[in-house]
Amino acid sequence: MTGSVELSGLRLSNPLMLASGTWGFGETLSPEILRSVGALVTKGISLEPRAGNPPPRLSETPCGLLNSIGLENPGLAAFRKGILPRLLRIGPPVIVNILGESEEEFLRLAEGLRETGVAGLEVNISCPNVKKGGLAFSQDPDGVFRMVRRLREVWPGWMSVKLSPVGPVAEVAHAAEEGGASALTCANTYPALAIHPGPKGPYFHLGGLSGPAIKPLTLRLVYELSRRLRRPLIACGGILSGRDAYEYLLAGARAFQVGTATLLDPEAPRRILSELDELSRAD
Ligand X SMILES: Cc1cc2nc3c(=O)[nH]c(=O)nc-3n(C[C@H](O)[C@H](O)[C@H](O)COP(=O)(O)O)c2cc1C
Please list the active-site residues: 127
If binding is defined by CB under 6 A, does position 189 make contact with ligand X?
yes
As measured in angstroms, the least distance from the Cβ of 44 to ligand X is 3
Using omega within 30 degrees of 0 as the cis cutoff, is the peptide bond preceding 56 cis?
A: yes
**What SS3 state is found at 124?**
strand
Nearest position to ligand X, beta carbon = 21
167 marked as binding residue: no
- Could you tell me if 258 and 19 are in contact, meaning their C-beta atoms sit under 8 angstroms apart? yes
Residue of the chain from 214, 222, 225, 233 that contacts ligand X (CB under 6 A):
214
As measured in angstroms, the least distance from the Cβ of 202 to ligand X is 23
- Residue 27 burial by Cβ neighbours in a 10 Å radius (0-12, 13-18, 19+): exposed
DSSP conformational letter for 137: G
CB 145, min distance to ligand X, A:
20
Q: Is 76 annotated as a binding residue?
A: no
Which range in 101-109, 151-159, 257-265, 268-276 contacts ligand X by CB under 6 A? 257-265
Length of the chain: 283
From start to end of 23-170, where are the E strands? Answer: 39-41, 58-61, 64-67, 94-98, 120-124, 128-129, 135-136, 158-163
In the bound complex, what is the minimum distance in angstroms from residue 281's beta carbon to ligand X? 24
Q: Tell me: does residue 236 bind ligand X (CB under 6 A).
A: yes
Q: Does 138 bind ligand X (CB under 6 A)?
A: no
Q: Identify which of residues 112 and 238 has a Cβ nearer to ligand X in the complex.
A: 238
| Cβ neighbour number for residue 119 with a 10 Å cutoff | 17
What CA–CA distance (Å, rounded) separates 42 from 27? 12
Give the whole-angstrom CA distance, residue 214 versus residue 94: 26
Helix (H) or strand (E) holding 174: helix 169-179
* Cβ proximity to ligand X, 66 vs 279, nearer residue: 66
- Is residue 84 a contact point for ligand X (CB under 6 A)? no
For residues 194 and 205, what is the distance between their CA atoms, to the nearest angstrom?
5
Binding test (CB under 6 A) with ligand X, winner from 19, 98, 172, 273 = 19
Q: Binding residue for ligand X (CB under 6 A) from 14, 129, 210, 226?
A: 210
Q: Of these, 79, 162, 205, 235, which contacts ligand X (CB under 6 A)?
A: 162
Q: Which residues bind ligand X (CB under 6 A)?
A: 19-22, 43-44, 65, 67, 69, 71, 97, 124, 162, 188-189, 210-211, 214, 236-239, 258-261
Known binding-site residue numbers for FMN: 20, 43-44, 97, 124, 162, 211, 237-238, 259-260
